[in-house]
Amino acid sequence: MQVSSRFLLVWGVVHLYPYLAIEVPTYSSMLIAWSVTEVIRYSYFALSLSGFTPRLLTWLRYNTFFVLYPIGILSECSLVFLAAVGPAAAEKEYPLALAPYALYAILIIYVPVSAR
C-alpha cells in the first residue's frame, strides 16, 4: 500500500500538477515525513544486520511513527484534495475529465486502507 500511495502522489498528482509542489506547503511536509521515516527505517535495518542496534534508534524506529504518520497522511490527503478541486476539476477532455472523481474516490478509501 505504501508504494502505491507514493506512486499516486508522485506521478498521479505532483507530476500532472507540478504547481502543487511549488505553491503548497503540504508537499514539503509530506517529503519531510517520508524522508525522516525512511532514514530511520533503513538505518535501523542496516545496523540490525550488523547485530548492533542503538537503543535510541530502536526507540525512534517505533515511536516517530506517532508523529510522522499523521503528518504524512494529512499532507498526502491535502495534495489529493487540492488536485481534485483545482486543476483536475478544470479538465474538459474525456479521460482527464474523470480525474476529479477518481481522486475523490481515492480520498474516500485512502485513510481507512492506510490505517491497516
Active-site residue, 62 included: no
Crossing angle for the helix pair 25-49 and 65-85, nearest 10 degrees? Answer: 140
Grade residue 48 by pLDDT with cuts at 50, 70 and 90: very high
In this predicted structure, what is the pLDDT of residue 94?
64
Question: 79: exposed, middle or buried (C-beta count within 10 Å: 0-12, 13-18, 19+)?
Answer: buried
Predicted local distance difference test score (pLDDT) of residue 6: 92
Using a cut of 0.95, tell me whether the model's pTM lies above it. no
Instruction: Output the pLDDT for position 115.
Output: 66
Mean pLDDT calculated for residue range 107-111: 86
- Active-site residue (options: 69, 91, 94, 101): 69
Annotate 71-101 with DSSP letters as a single string: HHHHHHHHHHHHHHHTTGGG--SHHHHTHHH
pLDDT over 80 at 107, yes or no: yes
Q: What is the pLDDT of residue 97?
A: 67
Confidence at 87, pLDDT banded by 50, 70, 90: confident
Q: Which of 76, 91, 104, 110 is catalytic?
A: 76
Q: For 3-45, write each residue's pLDDT tens digit.
A: 888 998 999 889 888 888 998 999 999 999 999 999 999 999 9
Q: Is 19 a catalytic residue?
A: no
When the pLDDT of each residue in the chain is averaged and rounded to a whole number, the result is 88
